[in-house]
Structure 1
């Protein structure tokens, strides 16, 4: 079963790893931040060793994005992201696991203080869950 793990974060200030720029994370004692970071690194290592991690990328500063919308028969391009957004997509991981339970187990270690992590099933081109 393939899933995408979407990492959402506040775009201001901006940088990676996102936890280093999130007030809730920075307010934690150093020992707790180390524990949270260690859980993430352990999850990444486990997924890699088990062949579950198919790929992933951190995404660039949202101020550099462009939005494309279809209007009046052609594409209209504007600077992104949406101005009203409090969060933006900061990065993603594509995983292939044996069950939804395993996906949930992994993602629980991704969500740090002040961050939002979304788990979404990937779909075949025909629209069925993989």
Structure 2
């Protein structure tokens, strides 16, 4: 079963890993931040070695995006960002796991203070969950 882990984060200032730029995480004791980073790196190694990690990408600053909308019978492009919300899509991880529970285990390690992590099933072209 494939799932996408979407990382939503504050784009100001923009950088990766996102936790380094989030006030709630910057306020944590240094030892706790080191532990969280170590657990995250261990998880990345684990899912890479197990084959559960299919793909991952960090995304550039939302202000560098181009938005396409259909208008007057043709696509119209405008500069991004698309939304005016305080959180933007910062990146994603695509995992292929045996169960929803395993996907939840992985997604929980991605979560940290001040971040929003979204876990969503991937779908086949016919619209059915994989």
TM-score band, normalised by shorter chain: over 0.9
TM-score (norm 2): 0.97
Distance 1:63 1:129 in 2: 32
Q: Where in structure 2 are there 5+ consecutive unaligned residues?
A: none
Distance 1:44 1:9 in 2: 19
Distance 1:43 1:113 in 2: 18
The 5 Å alignment of 1:50-129 reads 50-129=50-129
Distance 2:6 2:28 in 1: 23
* More off after superposition, 68-77 vs 78-87: 78-87
Q: Where in structure 1 are there 5+ consecutive unaligned residues?
A: none
* Poorly superposed stretches of 4+, deviation over 4 Å: none
Count, aligned residues = 130
TM-align CA RMSD: 0.8
